[in-house]
């Protein structure tokens, strides 16, 4: 086999039987699959389990079954969790920051939390201020930032330790269309240096950024692969390797309708059997 071929590229994300239950209530069940793309989008309706999956990948929540491998770490290796966290950046949906802190204060504080060596802190802060175009706001207090600028700061704090992996939960939610386009531009640049795993229900973000999409429905994976195949598999024609937000939305809605029909059919058979 040619070592330079696609098979030689290690997966950026692998899941094997990954599951999580809250008490006796299953939230995610038997997730399997792998991606080699730089940007992996997790798409699903509210309550599909997107945030739970991200919390497990961020080691905030431990799986109740199965395992995952990401950024060179196997979740079964508990001794390696500290090293994995040092290579990780997280962009939560809502980042609570002290309104009196300046942008530079926030980034220096996050450097301290992530144990960035003191000698490297000034360079790390300057790097992300420049990358996210925040230099003019470096001395501005958080309470005075616009929503779009605050979200850029949210991304900057995730990148300040130069991570291999960035986990993002609904990174563009609440932004206006112009702000969303601007943040997507910054995310695209960040993906040149790190793997991005992004949970969202906004198909435009997925179409603009993702190499692979993981579709969750009812706590299970209903699709994992590239975007054009997802669309054509649900009857939506696409032009080459490019997928628009409209095309992806139509394919996603078709999948949801199909799943709803299947669930209704299963319920009907169950109810009919119970009454027989």
**pLDDT tens per residue, range 127-143:** 999 999 999 999 999 99
User: What pLDDT band is residue 260 in, cutting at 50, 70 and 90?
Assistant: low
**pLDDT tens per residue, range 170-205:** 998 888 888 899 999 999 999 999 999 999 888 999
- The per-residue pLDDT for 120 is 97
- CA dihedral in degrees (8, 14, 259, 93; nearest 10)? -120
- The per-residue pLDDT for 266 is 44
DSSP 11: P
- The per-residue pLDDT for 271 is 61
Choose among 30, 18, 31, 33: nearest CA to 67.
18
Helix (H, G, I), strand (E, B) or coil at 57: helix
Identify which has the larger pLDDT, 57 or 266.
Answer: 57
At residue 55, does pLDDT exceed 80?
A: yes
Checking DSSP bridges between strand 13-22 and strand 65-70, what pairing results, if any?
antiparallel
User: Of 14-18, 23-27, 46-50, 93-97, where does mean pLDDT reach its minimum?
Assistant: 93-97
User: What pLDDT band is residue 213 in, cutting at 50, 70 and 90?
Assistant: very high
Query: What pairs with residue 19 in β-bridges?
Result: 65
Domain limits of the chain? Answer: 89-162
At residue 209, does pLDDT exceed 60?
A: yes
- The per-residue pLDDT for 201 is 83
Average pLDDT across the chain, whole number: 89
CA distances from 275 to 80, 266, 267, 269 (A): 54, 14, 12, 10
């Amino acid at each position: 086999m040619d070592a330079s071929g696609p098979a030689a590229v290690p997966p950026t994300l692998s899941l094997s039987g990954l599951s999580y239950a809250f008490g006796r209530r299953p939230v995610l069940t038997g997730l399997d699959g792998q991606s080699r793309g730089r940007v992996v989008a997790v798409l699903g309706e509210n309550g599909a389990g997107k945030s739970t999956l991200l919390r497990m990948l961020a080691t905030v929540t431990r799986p109740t079954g199965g395992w995952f491998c990401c950024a060179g770490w196997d979740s079964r290796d508990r001794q390696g969790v500290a090293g994995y966290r040092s290579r990780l950046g997280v962009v939560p949906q809502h980042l609570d920051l002290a309104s009196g802190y300046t942008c530079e204060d926030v980034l220096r504080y996050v450097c301290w939390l992530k144990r960035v060596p003191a000698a490297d802190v000034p360079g790390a802060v300057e790097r992300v201020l420049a990358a996210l175009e925040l230099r003019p706001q470096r001395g501005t207090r958080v309470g005075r930032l616009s929503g779009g600028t605050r979200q850029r700061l949210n991304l900057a704090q995730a990148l300040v330790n130069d991570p291999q992996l960035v986990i993002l939960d609904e990174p563009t939610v609440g932004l206006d269309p112009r702000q969303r386009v601007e943040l997507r531009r910054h995310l695209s640049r960040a993906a040149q240096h790190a793997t991005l795993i992004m949970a969202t229900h906004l198909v435009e973000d997925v179409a603009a950024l993702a190499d692979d999409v993981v579709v969750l429905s009812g706590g299970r994976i209903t699709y994992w692969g590239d975007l054009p195949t997802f669309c054509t598999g649900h009857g939506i024609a696409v032009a080459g390797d490019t997928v628009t937000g409209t095309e992806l939305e139509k394919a996603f809605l078709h999948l949801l309708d199909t799943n709803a029909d299947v669930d209704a059919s299963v319920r009907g058979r169950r109810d009919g059997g119970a009454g027989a």
